[in-house]
Amino acid sequence: MTIALDINRVSYSYGSRMALDDVSFTVDAGRFTALLGPNGAGKSTLFALATRLLSIPEGSISVFGADLARTPGVALRRMGIVFQQPTLDLDLSVAQNLRYFASLHGIGRREADRRMEAELSRLDMAERAGEKVRALNGGHRRRAEIARALLHRPSLLLLDEPTVGLDLPTRRRLIDHVHALCRDEGIAALWATHLIDEIDTTRDAVVILHQGRVRAAGTAAAVMGPVSLDQAFNTLTGAAE
């Protein structure tokens, strides 16, 4: 299977505090991989490194074989990102936000509008394109961010706790949408979360991160073994004690 994202022996520290310690795992193309870890496990630091917001002091990260440090442009071109913190401009409309993002990827207005219409329609957001982001609820804002992340047709989607603060039906809908993208379009997704119920244990891959170290990685079934994922997670992160 093609490796979409390769995190290889990455370490990072904030001053004297180690945030990531020799982290290695891969995300396969066309697969939904959940990066599971409690708050403070190092998920957001890993996302900041994988999106080049932080420079990688130790180890390497590559996207479909393109090294992020040496060929950032090639790597970032294939990556769609949804940050935990909302990054839409509240004073602009959904369409203006999406067009702006498209321009950052060198996509002209006409093509951007065409893709925007398609992506927003898939998320039932087409009629909201002209509305200011400030007027949207949290679920719609997230959907707009996912549509935006797909505008440049990435092969890898990075989503950092995208369901934080959303109600259950909206969460479910977003998860289903990203699963469908993996299944139908072969997109690889790395979905950071601390909510176990967001993982489909029959087909997803899981990476369990705790205190900056990978505690387990593989298909959800392999990581679970004979117990539930909940139990396995609690055992691996010491939450059971």
Partner 1 sequence: MSGWLICLQGIVGREVLRFLHQRSRFLGALVRPLIWLVVFAAGFRAALGVAIIPPYETYITYEVYILPGLVGMIQLFNGMQSSLSMVYDREMGSMRMVLTSPLPRWYLLLCKLVAGVAVSILQVYAFLAIATAFGLDVPLMGALTVLPALVLNGLMLGALGMVLGSHIRQLENFAGVMNFVVFPLFFLSSALYPLYKMRESSEVLYVLCQLNPFTHGVEVIRFALYGQVNPLAGGVVVAVTAALMGLALWGYRPERAIMRKRAAAE
Which residues of this protein are in contact with partner 1, per CB under 8 A? 14, 17, 19, 48, 51-55, 72-74, 76-77, 79, 81, 83, 85-92, 96, 99-108
Nearer to partner 1, 87 or 228 (CB): 87
Nearer to partner 1, 102 or 209 (CB): 102
Nearer to partner 1, 55 or 228 (CB): 55
Q: Please, what is the minimum distance in Å from the beta carbon of residue 202 to partner 1?
A: 32
Asked if 36 contacts 209 with a C-beta cutoff of 8 angstroms, the reply is yes
Q: Please, what is the minimum distance in Å from the beta carbon of residue 207 to partner 1?
A: 21
Reading the block at residue 83, the tokens are: 């940050």
Dist CA 89 CA 91 (whole Å): 6
Nearer to partner 1, 76 or 196 (CB): 76
Nearer to partner 1, 90 or 240 (CB): 90
Instruction: Evaluate the CA torsion angle 87, 89, 94, 97 in order and state its sign.
Output: negative
Asked if 68 contacts 61 with a C-beta cutoff of 8 angstroms, the reply is yes
Q: Please, what is the minimum distance in Å from the beta carbon of residue 83 to partner 1?
A: 6
* Residues paired with residue 210 on neighbouring β-strands, in sequence order: 213
Q: Please, what is the minimum distance in Å from the beta carbon of residue 56 to partner 1?
A: 11
Q: Please, what is the minimum distance in Å from the beta carbon of residue 198 to partner 1?
A: 22
DSSP 84: S
Q: Please, what is the minimum distance in Å from the beta carbon of residue 27 to partner 1?
A: 17
Dist CA 162 CA 47 (whole Å): 12
Q: Please, which residues have CB within 8 angstroms of residue 60's CB and are 6 or more apart in sequence?
A: 6, 8, 9, 10, 67, 68, 69
Nearer to partner 1, 43 or 233 (CB): 43
Annotate 101-165 with DSSP letters as a single string: HHHHTT--HHHHHHHHHHHHHHTT-GGGTTSBGGGS-HHHHHHHHHHHHHTT--SEEEEESTTTT
